[in-house]
Amino acid sequence: MTDGSAHTWPIRVYYEDTDAGGVVYYANYLKFAERARTELLRCGGFDHTTLLQDNGVQIVVRNCTAEYILPARLDDALEVRSRITTMGGVSFTIRQEILRPATDETRANPLVVIEVRLACIDRDFKPARLPSALKAALGHTNAI
């Protein structure tokens, strides 16, 4: 998926996701992004439990930035588009856009743009190399 293609995951805004003003509470966008990243891994044939059991590693957030552009509201149907932008030996970066899908009348507008740097760690929480099978599943076999 580092070839420029994006993984897309649908999200629906529920009452529990909103704040007193009726818009999505800012921290919930991070939850939406986390779910989409988990599904991206799953799409590549990996899940967090299997990574730890079979490879002795975990993928954790090292750094995260978010730009909030437009609000989402109760019952909105959203998409999280995740694109891997860099891949290294022990870490990789994903750009995630949370948006309302385009309709006949409107184009897709990003609501939130999140940049997440993920790191691979071992059971002792020390940096570990990304498993080559995981890198291959994510579409990138050579470190950048």
Q: CA nearest 24: which of 76, 71, 65?
A: 71
Spatial contact of 33 and 8, defined as CB atoms under 8 Å apart: no
Spatial contact of 72 and 98, defined as CB atoms under 8 Å apart: yes
Q: Hey, which bits of the chain come out as E strands?
A: 7-12, 57-68, 77-87, 91-100, 109-122
Per the residue annotation, which of 19, 47, 54, 75 is the catalytic one? Answer: 19
Integer angstrom CA distances of residue 27 from 15, 85, 96:
14, 23, 15
17 noted as active-site residue: no
Q: So which residues are the catalytic ones?
A: 19
